[in-house]
Amino acid sequence: MPGKLVLCGTPIGNLEDLSARAAGVLAAADVVACEDTRRTRKLLTHTGVRARELVSYHEGNERRRAQELVARIAGGETVVVVSDAGMPGLSDPGYRLVRACVDAGLAVEVVPGPSAAVTALAVSGLPPGRFAFEGFLPRKSSERRRHIESVRDEKRTLVFYESPHRIEGSLADLAEILGERPACLARELTKMYEEVRRGTLPELVESVRADPPRGEIVVVVGGAIHEHREPVEPEVLAAQAIELMDAGMERRDALAEVARSAGVPKRVVFDALVRFR
């Protein structure tokens, strides 16, 4: 008989958050596939669980390891996948293995656990009813700005992951493109040094410049509020952009500013500028 794949949520900080069911599943597994065997072994030791076998399963070996694990599941073994923290598959390895098991007709189960994205959303004070999880923003500033532009008109609350050495740049880009939106920065959730900062995006930029945060960071941003605005003629958009550029503003920034003010995509301003300049 074929075995099964089990995705198992693990604590995002406080080891006491591992559920009794999760501990039982880990103890009964034929193999536990994890991002970092040292971190997972520490968790298992804390909860008194002795895993039969630990194997590494991370971004670098995910494609190769997935096929190995599928073969073991097809042979009757139970494979449990955990990430370093939170739910496997959400910004962590897991998706490829789930897809491979589904394609092979093998059983896939889930043992729910903590999620940094949902935890930050709950504590943020921003509307949680409808939200969009965006994961990590791109590392390169140009790609990051394009991605932020793509979600500029999203009405749902936005949730991002970020690292300490990129948080200032990412917040600055968010503030410039999205404007004075309410936001929340949550770091080290459920850990000893848990911290939650709330304010507008520009206020959070100043906050991280004055006191750079450490640890694992989640940023929650309020969704777009679309107000009724009278349409602006293309020649007016072009004239506004030219005026800003003549005053010394970079073209990219001028296009973004005019687009924000008029409530139109930046591409509309660019097309107007090409047409009427």
Q: 152-190 as b/e, with b when 16 or more CB fall inside 10 Å?
A: bebebbbbbbbeeebbbbbbbbbbbbbeebbbbbbbbbb
Confidence of residue 123 (pLDDT cuts 50, 70, 90): very high
Superfamily of domain 117-221: Tetrapyrrole methylase, C-terminal domain (3.30.950.10)
Predicted local confidence at residue 228, as pLDDT: 52
Over pLDDT 90: what percentage of the chain?
A: 78
CATH number of 4-114: 3.40.1010.10
Predicted local confidence at residue 263, as pLDDT: 74
Predicted local confidence at residue 231, as pLDDT: 79
Confidence of residue 138 (pLDDT cuts 50, 70, 90): very high
- Give the model confidence (pLDDT) of 266-277 as tens digits: 888 888 988 887
- Report whether 86 contacts 12 (CB < 8 A): yes
Confidence of residue 34 (pLDDT cuts 50, 70, 90): very high
Predicted local confidence at residue 59, as pLDDT: 87
**Average pLDDT along the chain:** 93
C-alpha dihedral (106, 110, 116, 121), degrees to nearest 10: 110
Predicted local confidence at residue 77, as pLDDT: 97
Tell me the mean pLDDT in the region 3-26. 95
The yes-or-no verdict on residue 229 having pLDDT over 80 is no
